[in-house]
Structure 1
């Protein structure tokens, strides 16, 4: 069943174009030219989303918004603004519209495809499945030319799909040339993938960056199911969580920390908690992890995994604490997106002194990105700001020392340093930990109790006597209300 859209716009020419575009995109589209007709239409039909021009008259856009807020509290609304000057003058602000229940604001000029992207950002997995045009069998393979930067890759062995493929899937032929081997709605064929893997030695599959949200939705759904399945090896669970976490971080780094991105992040954090909470043999993976992908996204996943594993060793750990830390870990290097591009995957040891000075600004830049975001709690913000502060005062950006550093931030600092050593030097986890412990000066960067708990991460929990004492020389950041 197609998702229903109501489009309200006094420009009948644009309205007709938009109706055709969204109908071709498998939406069920209703259109009206004024606010009065919009309200009458909404009495009789429930819509996935309402797309309305701010210039709507008879009744005005604001009148319709008040009507929606009163009668349809959870209705998704996208407002189209013809003139940016109204924002510049303060007549229209995103904050005012949000208070009236507006989900998104789009300012002309824009392509209709931009509105489609906004809509897809609010779709649940069931919405996606419902709106998809399913087909029996598979479509013909199609060669396309498109820039490499338009695609996201996934290892062919790590690609999972529902029975109907949620998005177009490609293999790469050469620079900027791809072959579409599965079309949206096709019946999924593992045989076709195996043919490319075994006969053509294909290692990676590709999909459009715009479909990353769909990938995250489906794979997080699958992650939750696998975590609950006792027959699935823990390594498989970690692997699929790695995939969904990395793609989520890539989405956040690419499109920014938008409301729908944060909502997806919360779902991923819940999966992290479920894995840490339920998987008693997780230590077997944590002490022998070997998938050394040097990208920023893989780094952030590993920091998330080991930070939350450390927290799990404390009696004061909770679902809120683990999920808060997971969110902070995924965003801990978001400030690097405001640095020159080469800093994203540049190792500190390869930087010039001038570059190091620039690099050290990223915790503050990250804090600036999230500071005014009401959907992110203060604990996450403080961890991002302090994740490079060291217990002995040698960290940055403020050279804070001891108990002045939030405990969760010092945990992330320890996990961050550990992951850098593990990836940069290609060491086994236990060898990387040994490197930290053998460095008598460097180990002072962390609260000693955190180091003791980190050692327990690699030990069978059944053999560990749990310590019930909260560190006396550190402070746990409490979740903001």
Structure 2
């Protein structure tokens, strides 16, 4: 069943263009050109979303918003402004519109096609499934020409699909040239995928960047089911969450910190918490982890995984603490988005003084990027700001020392350094940990209890309890550091 959308705008031409476009995207559209008819439509029907122009007549946009606030408090509302001057001249404010239930502002002029991305940004997986035009069987394969930059790549072994394919799926022929092998709405064909994997040695599939959110939604839900299933190997669970987290971080870096993006991040973090909480053999998986992918997205996932595993060893750990830290880890390097691209290709040791000074600003820039997002609490912001602060005072950006650094920040700091050592040196985790422990100058950068609890990450929890091999008052780590 198609999702219903109410368009309320005084411009007849705009209404016609927007309506025709949304119908092509398989929405059911109701159009009105005044506030009175908008209220009547809302009285008679239910809508997935209402796209309402602030400058409606015969019951103003504000009057209709108040009507929805009273009678449809959970209605998803997108407000269209004729120009930015409406906000600049204080005819209304973003805060006032949010109080009326607005979830997003769209300022004219904008491309009608962008409505597709805006609406899909607020859809749940169930909404996506409802709005697919399903077909039995598979459509013919089609060769297309699109820029490589418009596609997201996924390993063929990491791709899973519902019975009805959620979005178009491609394989790459050469630069800017692709074959669409599965069409949105087709019945999923494992045979067609296997043909390319086995006969053509294809290693990756591709989908449009605009469909990345659908990929994340579906794989997030699938990951939650896998984690709850005791018969699924832990390695498969970690692989699934890594896959989701990689694409999620890519989405956040490219789309910005929109409310719906943050909401998806919280779902990813809940899955990570459940993995750390329920997977009894996680210590074995982390001990043998050997996937040395140097990308920023995989780096952020591994920092998240090891940070949350460390926190799990503390008596004061909680679901809220782990999920907040996980969210901070996913975004900990988001400030690098604003740095020159050529700087990101260098490791700090390769930078000159001016480059390193600029590099050291990325924690502050990261906090600035998320500062206005009310869905992200202050703990997350502080972890991002302090994730390079060292316990001995040699870190940045503020050279904080000892107890002035948040424990959670120092945990992320250790995990961040550890992942760099592991990936750069292509070391298994125990070897990377040994490298840290053997370097006195490195060990003193972290609270000794954090290092001790990191060692516990790679030890059978049952053995710790039974043999008390690493008691909480142990001085083993501080002795190594002295």
Partners of 2:21 and 2:199 in 1: CA distance: 39
Q: Post-superposition shift, 1:468?
A: 8.7
Partners of 1:142 and 1:9 in 2: CA distance: 38
Residue 59 to residue 409, structure 1, CA distance change in 2 (3 Å): same
The aligned counterpart of 2:252 is: 252
Contact kept in structure 2, 1:249 and 1:331, CA below 8 Å: yes
The aligned counterpart of 2:131 is: 131
Q: Post-superposition shift, 1:470?
A: 9.5
The aligned counterpart of 1:158 is: 158
Partners of 1:337 and 1:95 in 2: CA distance: 27
Q: Post-superposition shift, 1:288?
A: 1.0
Secondary structure at the counterpart of residue 172 of structure 2:
strand
Cα distance per residue 1:20-72 (max 9 Å; x no partner) = 11111111111111000010111111100001112211110000001001111
The aligned counterpart of 2:337 is: 337
Corresponding position: 1:377 with 2:385? no
Partners of 2:238 and 2:111 in 1: CA distance: 39
The range that moved more, 51-60 or 347-356, is 347-356
Cα distance per residue 1:434-464 (max 9 Å; x no partner) = 0000001111000001000000101111101
Partners of 2:327 and 2:189 in 1: CA distance: 35
Corresponding position: 1:223 with 2:226? no
Partners of 1:45 and 1:9 in 2: CA distance: 18
Contact kept in structure 2, 1:5 and 1:48, CA below 8 Å: yes
Contact kept in structure 2, 1:295 and 1:345, CA below 8 Å: no
Q: Post-superposition shift, 1:372?
A: 2.3
Q: Post-superposition shift, 1:352?
A: 2.4
Partners of 2:343 and 2:235 in 1: CA distance: 31
Partners of 1:45 and 1:208 in 2: CA distance: 33
Q: Report the count of equivalent residues.
A: 472
Partners of 1:352 and 1:190 in 2: CA distance: 51
Secondary structure at the counterpart of residue 51 of structure 1:
strand
Cα distance per residue 1:239-278 (max 9 Å; x no partner) = 0100101111111111111100010011110000000000
Partners of 1:93 and 1:201 in 2: CA distance: 55
Counterparts of 1:359-438 in structure 2, within 5 Å, are 359-438=359-438
Secondary structure at the counterpart of residue 441 of structure 1:
helix
Contact kept in structure 2, 1:307 and 1:411, CA below 8 Å: yes
- Give the alignment's TM-score, normalised by structure 1: 0.96
Q: Post-superposition shift, 1:95?
A: 2.2
Cα distance per residue 1:221-240 (max 9 Å; x no partner) = 00000001111110100001
Secondary structure at the counterpart of residue 166 of structure 1:
coil
Partners of 1:377 and 1:85 in 2: CA distance: 31
Contact kept in structure 2, 1:49 and 1:75, CA below 8 Å: yes
The aligned counterpart of 1:477 is: none
Q: Post-superposition shift, 1:338?
A: 1.3
Contact kept in structure 2, 1:216 and 1:244, CA below 8 Å: yes
Secondary structure at the counterpart of residue 205 of structure 2:
strand
Partners of 2:222 and 2:251 in 1: CA distance: 19
The aligned counterpart of 2:477 is: none
The aligned counterpart of 2:213 is: 213
The aligned counterpart of 1:474 is: none
Counterparts of 1:93-172 in structure 2, within 5 Å, are 93-172=93-172
The aligned counterpart of 2:349 is: 349
Contact kept in structure 2, 1:335 and 1:365, CA below 8 Å: yes
Corresponding position: 1:42 with 2:42? yes
Counterparts of 1:449-460 in structure 2, within 5 Å, are 449-460=449-460
Contact kept in structure 2, 1:315 and 1:468, CA below 8 Å: no
Partners of 1:320 and 1:51 in 2: CA distance: 35
Secondary structure at the counterpart of residue 112 of structure 1:
coil
The aligned counterpart of 2:463 is: 463
Partners of 2:413 and 2:307 in 1: CA distance: 9
Contact kept in structure 2, 1:410 and 1:447, CA below 8 Å: yes
The aligned counterpart of 2:186 is: 186
Partners of 2:122 and 2:372 in 1: CA distance: 22
Contact kept in structure 2, 1:337 and 1:344, CA below 8 Å: no
Residue 241 to residue 211, structure 1, CA distance change in 2 (3 Å): same
Residue 399 to residue 297, structure 1, CA distance change in 2 (3 Å): same
Partners of 1:148 and 1:344 in 2: CA distance: 21
Contact kept in structure 2, 1:306 and 1:415, CA below 8 Å: yes
Contact kept in structure 2, 1:296 and 1:345, CA below 8 Å: no
The aligned counterpart of 2:478 is: none
Secondary structure at the counterpart of residue 31 of structure 2:
strand
Q: Post-superposition shift, 1:345?
A: 4.8
Q: Post-superposition shift, 1:351?
A: 2.2
Secondary structure at the counterpart of residue 440 of structure 2:
coil
Cα distance per residue 1:80-133 (max 9 Å; x no partner) = 112222223232332221122111111112111212211101100101001111
The aligned counterpart of 2:277 is: 277
Partners of 2:171 and 2:93 in 1: CA distance: 43
Q: Post-superposition shift, 1:6?
A: 0.5
The aligned counterpart of 2:12 is: 12
Partners of 2:473 and 2:23 in 1: CA distance: 59
Contact kept in structure 2, 1:316 and 1:470, CA below 8 Å: no
Contact kept in structure 2, 1:79 and 1:105, CA below 8 Å: yes
The aligned counterpart of 1:32 is: 32
- Give the alignment's TM-score, normalised by structure 2: 0.96
